[in-house]
Amino acid sequence: MTDQDYNFAFLDEQTKRMLRRAILKAVAIPGYQVPFGSREMPLPYGWGTGGMQVTAAVIGADDVLKVIDQGADDTTNAVSIRRFFKRMTGVATTEKTREATLIQTRHRVPETPLQAGQILVYQVPIPEPLRWLEPREIETRIMHALSEYGVMHVKLYEDIARHGHISTAYDYPVLVNGRYLMRCSPIPKFDTPKLHMNPALQLFGAGREKRIYALPPHTDVKPLDFEDHPFEIEHWPEPCALCGATDSFLDEVILDDKGGRMFVCSDTDYCGERREAGHRGRMSPPETLEAAE
Protein backbone atom coordinates (compact mmCIF):
# COMPACT_ATOMS: atom_id res chain seq x y z
CA MET A 1 0.00 0.00 0.00
CA THR A 2 1.63 3.21 -1.15
CA ASP A 3 0.46 6.68 -0.22
CA GLN A 4 -0.96 8.09 -3.44
CA ASP A 5 -0.51 11.72 -2.38
CA TYR A 6 3.29 11.49 -2.47
CA ASN A 7 5.94 10.34 -4.89
CA PHE A 8 7.53 6.89 -4.36
CA ALA A 9 9.70 7.18 -1.24
CA PHE A 10 8.34 10.70 -0.51
CA LEU A 11 11.02 12.74 -2.29
CA ASP A 12 10.53 13.94 -5.86
CA GLU A 13 12.67 12.37 -8.57
CA GLN A 14 14.90 15.43 -9.05
CA THR A 15 15.78 15.43 -5.37
CA LYS A 16 16.53 11.70 -5.44
CA ARG A 17 18.76 12.27 -8.44
CA MET A 18 20.66 14.98 -6.56
CA LEU A 19 21.05 12.58 -3.64
CA ARG A 20 22.26 9.75 -5.88
CA ARG A 21 24.90 12.03 -7.37
CA ALA A 22 26.10 12.89 -3.88
CA ILE A 23 26.13 9.20 -2.93
CA LEU A 24 28.11 8.27 -6.05
CA LYS A 25 30.66 10.93 -5.25
CA ALA A 26 30.84 9.70 -1.67
CA VAL A 27 31.44 6.13 -2.84
CA ALA A 28 34.14 7.35 -5.20
CA ILE A 29 35.99 9.13 -2.38
CA PRO A 30 35.61 6.87 0.67
CA GLY A 31 35.30 8.79 3.91
CA TYR A 32 35.00 12.21 2.28
CA GLN A 33 31.99 14.26 3.40
CA VAL A 34 30.01 15.35 0.34
CA PRO A 35 27.82 18.43 0.93
CA PHE A 36 24.30 17.96 -0.43
CA GLY A 37 21.09 19.98 -0.59
CA SER A 38 19.38 18.31 2.35
CA ARG A 39 15.61 18.65 2.39
CA GLU A 40 13.18 18.94 5.22
CA MET A 41 11.68 15.55 5.94
CA PRO A 42 8.45 14.89 7.80
CA LEU A 43 10.51 13.73 10.79
CA PRO A 44 12.53 16.19 12.86
CA TYR A 45 16.17 16.91 12.12
CA GLY A 46 18.30 14.83 14.44
CA TRP A 47 15.85 11.94 14.24
CA GLY A 48 17.32 10.32 11.15
CA THR A 49 16.52 12.69 8.29
CA GLY A 50 19.93 12.14 6.68
CA GLY A 51 19.59 8.38 6.79
CA MET A 52 16.03 8.67 5.52
CA GLN A 53 17.07 10.77 2.55
CA VAL A 54 19.79 8.28 1.65
CA THR A 55 17.34 5.40 2.04
CA ALA A 56 14.76 7.23 -0.07
CA ALA A 57 17.35 7.77 -2.79
CA VAL A 58 18.47 4.13 -3.03
CA ILE A 59 15.30 2.19 -2.18
CA GLY A 60 13.53 0.32 -4.98
CA ALA A 61 10.19 -1.46 -5.15
CA ASP A 62 11.77 -4.91 -4.64
CA ASP A 63 13.93 -3.97 -1.66
CA VAL A 64 13.40 -5.54 1.74
CA LEU A 65 13.86 -2.92 4.43
CA LYS A 66 14.98 -3.30 8.02
CA VAL A 67 15.18 -0.35 10.41
CA ILE A 68 16.93 -0.48 13.77
CA ASP A 69 17.62 2.00 16.53
CA GLN A 70 20.04 1.04 19.33
CA GLY A 71 20.24 -2.35 17.60
CA ALA A 72 16.54 -3.07 18.06
CA ASP A 73 13.70 -3.18 15.53
CA ASP A 74 11.03 -2.29 18.06
CA THR A 75 12.37 0.97 19.48
CA THR A 76 9.92 3.79 18.85
CA ASN A 77 11.91 5.74 16.28
CA ALA A 78 12.77 2.61 14.31
CA VAL A 79 9.08 1.72 14.24
CA SER A 80 8.24 5.23 13.10
CA ILE A 81 10.79 5.27 10.25
CA ARG A 82 9.87 1.75 9.10
CA ARG A 83 6.20 2.74 9.00
CA PHE A 84 7.05 5.87 7.05
CA PHE A 85 8.82 3.92 4.30
CA LYS A 86 6.16 1.24 4.23
CA ARG A 87 3.59 3.95 3.67
CA MET A 88 5.63 5.87 1.09
CA THR A 89 7.00 2.89 -0.89
CA GLY A 90 4.99 -0.19 -0.05
CA VAL A 91 8.18 -2.28 0.12
CA ALA A 92 8.45 -5.42 2.22
CA THR A 93 9.97 -4.93 5.66
CA THR A 94 11.73 -7.42 7.88
CA GLU A 95 13.39 -7.65 11.25
CA LYS A 96 15.86 -10.26 10.03
CA THR A 97 19.30 -8.96 9.14
CA ARG A 98 19.85 -11.88 6.72
CA GLU A 99 16.68 -11.14 4.74
CA ALA A 100 17.11 -7.38 4.42
CA THR A 101 18.58 -5.81 1.29
CA LEU A 102 18.60 -2.36 2.88
CA ILE A 103 19.10 -1.61 6.57
CA GLN A 104 18.78 1.82 8.12
CA THR A 105 20.41 2.07 11.50
CA ARG A 106 20.98 4.41 14.36
CA HIS A 107 23.91 3.80 16.73
CA ARG A 108 24.58 0.12 15.93
CA VAL A 109 25.93 -2.28 13.33
CA PRO A 110 24.00 -5.58 13.33
CA GLU A 111 25.80 -8.51 14.98
CA THR A 112 24.98 -10.86 12.09
CA PRO A 113 27.73 -10.26 9.51
CA LEU A 114 26.52 -8.36 6.45
CA GLN A 115 26.83 -9.80 2.97
CA ALA A 116 27.75 -8.48 -0.45
CA GLY A 117 24.76 -6.74 -2.01
CA GLN A 118 23.36 -5.42 1.25
CA ILE A 119 23.33 -1.69 1.99
CA LEU A 120 23.66 -0.32 5.51
CA VAL A 121 22.50 3.29 5.95
CA TYR A 122 23.66 5.12 9.07
CA GLN A 123 21.88 8.09 10.62
CA VAL A 124 24.55 10.62 11.49
CA PRO A 125 24.08 13.54 13.88
CA ILE A 126 27.49 15.23 13.55
CA PRO A 127 29.52 14.04 10.52
CA GLU A 128 32.68 16.01 11.23
CA PRO A 129 35.18 13.97 13.30
CA LEU A 130 37.18 17.09 14.11
CA ARG A 131 34.19 19.14 15.27
CA TRP A 132 34.82 18.97 19.02
CA LEU A 133 38.42 19.98 18.39
CA GLU A 134 37.68 22.73 15.86
CA PRO A 135 34.16 24.18 15.71
CA ARG A 136 34.62 25.97 12.39
CA GLU A 137 33.67 24.25 9.15
CA ILE A 138 36.01 26.44 7.07
CA GLU A 139 38.93 25.20 9.22
CA THR A 140 37.97 21.54 9.31
CA ARG A 141 37.58 21.38 5.53
CA ILE A 142 41.11 22.71 5.18
CA MET A 143 42.36 20.20 7.74
CA HIS A 144 40.81 17.36 5.72
CA ALA A 145 42.22 18.73 2.48
CA LEU A 146 45.71 18.67 3.99
CA SER A 147 45.18 15.41 5.95
CA GLU A 148 46.11 17.46 8.98
CA TYR A 149 44.90 15.09 11.68
CA GLY A 150 47.53 15.71 14.31
CA VAL A 151 45.02 17.32 16.68
CA MET A 152 43.11 14.06 16.93
CA HIS A 153 46.26 12.13 17.81
CA VAL A 154 47.06 14.76 20.41
CA LYS A 155 43.56 14.41 21.85
CA LEU A 156 43.95 10.63 22.12
CA TYR A 157 47.42 11.05 23.62
CA GLU A 158 46.06 13.47 26.23
CA ASP A 159 43.42 10.87 27.12
CA ILE A 160 46.17 8.35 27.77
CA ALA A 161 48.26 10.84 29.73
CA ARG A 162 45.30 11.72 31.90
CA HIS A 163 43.42 8.43 32.27
CA GLY A 164 45.89 5.77 31.24
CA HIS A 165 43.84 4.82 28.19
CA ILE A 166 41.81 6.36 25.39
CA SER A 167 38.53 7.58 26.84
CA THR A 168 36.40 7.56 23.71
CA ALA A 169 33.65 5.00 24.17
CA TYR A 170 31.60 5.63 21.05
CA ASP A 171 31.96 7.58 17.82
CA TYR A 172 35.56 6.40 17.70
CA PRO A 173 37.61 8.19 14.99
CA VAL A 174 38.78 6.04 12.08
CA LEU A 175 41.03 6.60 9.11
CA VAL A 176 39.39 5.48 5.87
CA ASN A 177 41.41 4.03 3.02
CA GLY A 178 44.50 5.64 4.54
CA ARG A 179 43.21 9.08 3.63
CA TYR A 180 40.17 10.63 5.32
CA LEU A 181 39.46 10.81 9.01
CA MET A 182 35.86 9.72 9.46
CA ARG A 183 33.28 9.69 12.18
CA CYS A 184 31.40 6.40 12.16
CA SER A 185 28.18 7.97 13.52
CA PRO A 186 27.89 7.35 17.22
CA ILE A 187 28.25 3.56 17.16
CA PRO A 188 29.96 2.11 20.24
CA LYS A 189 33.60 1.26 19.61
CA PHE A 190 32.54 -2.37 19.93
CA ASP A 191 31.11 -2.00 16.40
CA THR A 192 34.01 -0.07 14.88
CA PRO A 193 35.96 -3.14 13.67
CA LYS A 194 32.86 -4.30 11.74
CA LEU A 195 33.31 -1.39 9.33
CA HIS A 196 36.69 -2.68 8.16
CA MET A 197 36.58 -4.65 4.87
CA ASN A 198 32.84 -5.09 5.20
CA PRO A 199 31.39 -6.71 2.05
CA ALA A 200 28.24 -4.51 2.26
CA LEU A 201 27.96 -0.93 1.01
CA GLN A 202 27.86 1.47 3.96
CA LEU A 203 26.28 4.90 3.46
CA PHE A 204 26.18 7.69 6.02
CA GLY A 205 23.61 10.49 5.89
CA ALA A 206 23.64 13.64 8.04
CA GLY A 207 20.49 15.61 7.20
CA ARG A 208 20.79 18.63 9.46
CA GLU A 209 24.49 19.01 8.69
CA LYS A 210 23.86 18.30 4.99
CA ARG A 211 26.63 15.78 4.39
CA ILE A 212 26.77 12.29 2.88
CA TYR A 213 29.75 9.97 3.06
CA ALA A 214 30.34 6.34 2.28
CA LEU A 215 32.42 3.20 2.69
CA PRO A 216 32.32 1.11 -0.48
CA PRO A 217 32.50 -2.67 0.08
CA HIS A 218 35.88 -3.95 1.29
CA THR A 219 37.25 -0.58 2.35
CA ASP A 220 40.15 -0.33 4.75
CA VAL A 221 38.93 1.29 7.99
CA LYS A 222 41.46 1.78 10.75
CA PRO A 223 40.67 3.10 14.22
CA LEU A 224 43.27 5.64 15.32
CA ASP A 225 45.51 4.27 18.07
CA PHE A 226 49.12 3.96 19.22
CA GLU A 227 51.49 0.98 19.08
CA ASP A 228 51.69 0.82 22.87
CA HIS A 229 48.00 1.61 23.32
CA PRO A 230 46.22 -0.43 20.65
CA PHE A 231 42.52 0.00 19.92
CA GLU A 232 40.34 -2.28 22.00
CA ILE A 233 36.61 -2.89 22.33
CA GLU A 234 34.49 -3.06 25.46
CA HIS A 235 33.78 -6.30 27.37
CA TRP A 236 31.02 -7.31 29.73
CA PRO A 237 31.33 -9.19 33.01
CA GLU A 238 28.58 -11.64 32.03
CA PRO A 239 26.87 -13.05 28.90
CA CYS A 240 23.44 -12.05 27.56
CA ALA A 241 20.81 -13.01 30.15
CA LEU A 242 18.41 -14.15 27.45
CA CYS A 243 20.51 -15.99 24.85
CA GLY A 244 23.85 -16.46 26.59
CA ALA A 245 25.81 -14.70 23.85
CA THR A 246 29.30 -13.58 24.79
CA ASP A 247 30.13 -11.98 21.45
CA SER A 248 27.47 -9.26 21.19
CA PHE A 249 26.99 -5.72 22.47
CA LEU A 250 24.93 -5.84 25.66
CA ASP A 251 22.45 -3.32 26.99
CA GLU A 252 22.15 -3.00 30.73
CA VAL A 253 18.59 -3.29 31.99
CA ILE A 254 17.85 -2.11 35.50
CA LEU A 255 15.50 -4.57 37.21
CA ASP A 256 14.68 -2.92 40.52
CA ASP A 257 15.78 -0.08 42.77
CA LYS A 258 18.21 -2.27 44.71
CA GLY A 259 20.96 -2.50 42.12
CA GLY A 260 19.53 -5.56 40.38
CA ARG A 261 20.35 -5.59 36.71
CA MET A 262 20.70 -7.84 33.73
CA PHE A 263 22.57 -7.60 30.46
CA VAL A 264 20.81 -8.39 27.19
CA CYS A 265 21.79 -8.20 23.52
CA SER A 266 21.19 -4.79 22.04
CA ASP A 267 20.59 -6.52 18.67
CA THR A 268 17.12 -8.01 19.12
CA ASP A 269 17.23 -9.99 15.87
CA TYR A 270 20.54 -11.61 16.77
CA CYS A 271 19.31 -12.45 20.27
CA GLY A 272 16.04 -13.88 18.95
CA GLU A 273 17.81 -15.96 16.33
CA ARG A 274 20.09 -17.47 18.97
CA ARG A 275 17.17 -18.27 21.25
CA GLU A 276 15.35 -19.96 18.37
CA ALA A 277 18.46 -22.06 17.86
CA GLY A 278 18.14 -23.21 21.46
CA HIS A 279 20.63 -20.97 23.24
CA ARG A 280 19.58 -19.98 26.72
CA GLY A 281 20.72 -17.33 29.18
CA ARG A 282 20.46 -16.79 32.90
CA MET A 283 16.98 -15.25 32.74
CA SER A 284 15.50 -16.66 29.55
CA PRO A 285 11.74 -16.02 29.64
CA PRO A 286 9.29 -17.43 30.07
CA GLU A 287 9.93 -21.11 30.86
CA THR A 288 13.25 -20.69 32.67
CA LEU A 289 12.37 -17.48 34.47
CA GLU A 290 11.23 -19.15 37.68
CA ALA A 291 14.20 -21.43 37.73
CA ALA A 292 16.51 -18.47 37.56
CA GLU A 293 14.96 -16.70 40.53
Partner 1 sequence: MYVAVKGGEAAIENAHKLLAEDRRGDAALPELDVAQIREQLSLGVDRVMTEGSIYDRDLAALALKQARGDQVEAIFLLRAYRTTLPRLGIAAPLDTQAMQVSRRISATFKDLPGGQLLGPTFDYTHRLLDFALLAEQEPIAAKQAGALADSMPQVVDLLNAEGLIERELPDAEDDVVGDITREPLMFPADRAVRLQSLARADEGYLLALGYSTQRGYAKSHPFVGEIRSGTVPVELDIPELGFTVDIGEIDVTECQMINQFRGSRSEPPKFTRGYGLSFGYAERKAMAMALVDRALRAEELGEDITAPAQDQEFVLYHGDNVEASGFVQHLKLPHHVDFQAELALVRKMRAEIAAAGAAPEFEEAAQ
- Helix spans in 29-175 (H): 49-58, 76-89, 137-145, 150-163
The active-site residue out of 90, 265, 272, 278 is: 265
Residue 114 · residue 120 · CB < 8 Å = yes
The burial class, CB within 10 Å (0-12 / 13-18 / 19+), for 92 is: middle
Among 31, 49, 52, 124, binds partner 1 (CB under 8 A): 49
Candidates 38-46, 55-63, 143-151, 173-181: pick the segment binding partner 1 (CB under 8 A): 38-46
Among 19, 26, 32, 38, binds partner 1 (CB under 8 A): 38
Mapping DSSP to helix (H, G, I), strand (E, B) and coil, where does residue 288 land?
coil
Q: In what order do the strands lie in the sheet with 221-223?
A: 180-183, 173-176, 221-223
Nearest alpha carbon to residue 108 among 271, 283, 225 = 271
- DSSP states along 90-129: --EE-S-TTT-SEEEEES---SSPP-TT-EEEEE-S---T
The active-site residue out of 51, 207, 243, 281 is: 243
**Does position 69 bind partner 1 by CB under 8 A?**
yes
The burial class, CB within 10 Å (0-12 / 13-18 / 19+), for 260 is: exposed
Residue 245 · residue 86 · CB < 8 Å = no
Distance of CA 34 to the CA centre of its chain: 18
CB of residue 234 vs partner 1: minimum separation in angstroms? 5
Candidates 24-32, 41-49, 56-64, 112-120: pick the segment binding partner 1 (CB under 8 A): 41-49
The active-site residue out of 117, 271, 272, 278 is: 271
**Does position 234 bind partner 1 by CB under 8 A?**
yes
Q: Which residue number, 70 or 177, has a Cβ lying nearer to partner 1?
A: 70
Active site (annotated) includes residue 244: no
Contact mark string toward partner 1, 191..230, x via CB under 8 A: -----------------x-xx-------------------
Q: How far apart are CA 124 and CA 18, in angstroms?
A: 19
Active site (annotated) includes residue 184: no
Residues 148-187 that bind partner 1 (CB under 8 A): 163-165, 167, 169-171, 186-187
Contact mark string toward partner 1, 274..293, x via CB under 8 A: ---------x-x--------
**Does position 251 bind partner 1 by CB under 8 A?**
yes
Among 17, 87, 137, 147, binds partner 1 (CB under 8 A): 137
Candidates 36-44, 55-63, 90-98, 110-118: pick the segment binding partner 1 (CB under 8 A): 36-44
The active-site residue out of 184, 205, 240, 281 is: 240
The burial class, CB within 10 Å (0-12 / 13-18 / 19+), for 33 is: buried
Q: Number of C-alpha atoms within 13 angstroms, CB side, residue 144?
A: 24
- Give contact residues for partner 1 (rule: CB under 8 A): 6-7, 10-12, 35-42, 44-47, 49, 69-72, 74-77, 79-80, 83, 106-108, 125, 135-138, 163-165, 167, 169-171, 186-190, 208, 210-211, 234-236, 249-255, 262, 264, 266, 268, 283, 285
Instruction: State the catalytic residues.
Output: 31, 240, 243, 265, 271
